[in-house]
Amino acid sequence: MDDQKKLYTDILELTKQQAKYIAEENLERVDRLIEKREALIIKLIENKHKIDKNNVEYNSIREEIIQLHNKNVEAYAKLRDQTKKELKKMRNKQHLNNAYQNAYGNTYEEGIFFDKRNH
C-alpha cells in the first residue's frame, strides 16, 4: 500500500471511530481522535504534490471521508447543543435553590421578650 492510500485509509478509520465515540457521547476520545486525524491531514497536505486526484479508488475514499466527517460534525453539534441546554437547566435549578435559602444565613436565634411596664 502506498503512502497516500495509507493516509486516506487511516483518516477514514479515525473518522469512523469518531462517529462511534460521538454516538457514545465520549467527547474526550473524540477530541483525541480529532488531534490524530488533524496530524494525518497535515501530512497529506505536506505531500499535496504527490496526491493523485485521478485515481478512482482514492476519490472514493475521499468522498467517504467527507460524507462521514459531515455527519460527525452535525452529530457533534447536536450533542454540544444538548449539553448546553442541560448545563443551562442545571444552572437555573441551582439559582432557584439559592433563592429559597434564608437570605440572612442558616443561623436562627431565639429571643425572649420581657415586658417591664407595669399595668
Q: Where are the domains positioned within the chain?
A: 3-84
The angle that helices 3-23 and 56-100 make with each other, rounded to 10 degrees, is 30
Determine the number of helices (DSSP H) and then strands (DSSP E) in the chain: 3, 0
Q: Whole-number mean pLDDT of the chain?
A: 85
* Alpha carbon distance 119, 109 (integer Å): 29
Helix, strand, coil shares, percent, the chain, to 5: 75, 0, 25
Whether the per-residue pLDDT at 55 is higher than 70: the answer is: yes
**What cell numbers appear for 75 in the block?**
452529530
Whether the per-residue pLDDT at 33 is higher than 80: the answer is: yes
**What cell numbers appear for 59 in the block?**
476519490
pLDDT of residue 100: 63
